[in-house]
Amino acid sequence: MVSGPNLDETAYVRDGANQTPVKILVVGHFAVGKTTFIGAISEIPPLSTEETMTRAGESVDDLKGVNGKTTTTVAMDFGRLTISERVVLYLFGTPGQQRFVQMWEDMARGALGALVLVDPERLADSFAVIDLIEQYGLDYAIAVNRFDGSPVREEKALREALDLLDDTPIVACDARDEKSSAAALITLVRFLQDRALQEQI
């Protein structure tokens, strides 16, 4: 439903005047659990937005063309979590589709890092997303979203199959579970800290 301009008080960032907004991406192939994951963590009902498919630098004037190609839209969904009086965290989720360049640039710019959700039964579907994340230079961790009955894979086999670096964290996760999802995020953030330390040396 379209919300009116008057929102509930809880819709607003609690301490926006003092908080620094930061974001983490939650990516993965179609139906891997991104929306479920964001919903498990978010303090607001997850929202989604559509981006008009214009290329960088292109004027919105081009929207007047009713040609389906320039006006295709794509959804990304996101949620919010108040971290402290100083920081508010946004989680952005989107399927990894290279052709949505503007959306990926918007999402990746300034992101702390990315959590890549992976279904061990559909590993090959994750290659494109991981490529994209690497292309944008984002540090990432892998969260293996084990759907019921999916095969248990050795971490080493997974690492080889996905061609991951030795230090890329791999964590098991049930996106439906708040604690499990938070634990995956914590793993990512600890890894990002390590990376920040390395960069400083």
Partner 1 sequence: MTPMTDPDKPEPEAAELVRPYVITKGRSLPDDEQFSLITLVTATLDDRQRPNRLSPEEQNLLTMCTGGYLSVAEIAGHTRLPLGVVKILLASLVEGGYILTRPPVARAVLADREILQEVLDGLRAKFG
Ligand X SMILES: Nc1nc2c(ncn2[C@@H]2O[C@H](COP(=O)(O)OP(=O)(O)OP(=O)(O)O)[C@@H](O)[C@H]2O)c(=O)[nH]1
Binding residues vs ligand X (CB under 6 A): 28, 30-36, 95, 145, 147-148, 174-176
* Residue 170 to residue 164: CA distance in whole angstroms: 10
What minimum distance in Å lies between the beta carbon of 121 and ligand X? 11
Q: Total binding residues for partner 1 by CB under 8 A? A: 73
CB atoms within 10 A of CB 125: 17
In three-state form (DSSP H/G/I as H, E/B as E, the rest C), the secondary structure along 61-93 is HHHHCCCHHHHCEEEEEEEEEECCCCEEEEEEE
Q: Does 42 bind Mg ion (CB under 5 A)?
A: no
Interface stretch with partner 1, choices 115-123, 129-137, 166-174, 193-201 (CB under 8 A): 193-201
Q: In terms of CB distance, is 62 or 169 closer to ligand X?
A: 169
User: Taking the CA of residue 180 as centre, how many other CA atoms within 13 Å lie in the half-sphere pointing to its CB?
Assistant: 15
Interface stretch with partner 1, choices 8-16, 125-133, 140-148, 166-174 (CB under 8 A): 8-16
Q: Does 172 bind partner 1 (CB under 8 A)?
A: no
| Nearest Cα residue to 128 out of 165, 93, 162, 78 | 162
Q: According to CB under 8 A, which residues from 101 to 140 bind partner 1?
A: 105-107, 109-110, 112
Three-state DSSP state, 158: helix
What minimum distance in Å lies between the beta carbon of 99 and partner 1? 17
What minimum distance in Å lies between the beta carbon of 24 and partner 1? 8
What minimum distance in Å lies between the beta carbon of 160 and partner 1? 29
Give residue 130's identity as a one-letter amino acid code: I
Q: Does 35 bind Mg ion (CB under 5 A)?
A: yes
* Residue 31 to residue 4: CA distance in whole angstroms: 30
Applying CB under 5 A, the residues found at the interface with Mg ion are 34-35
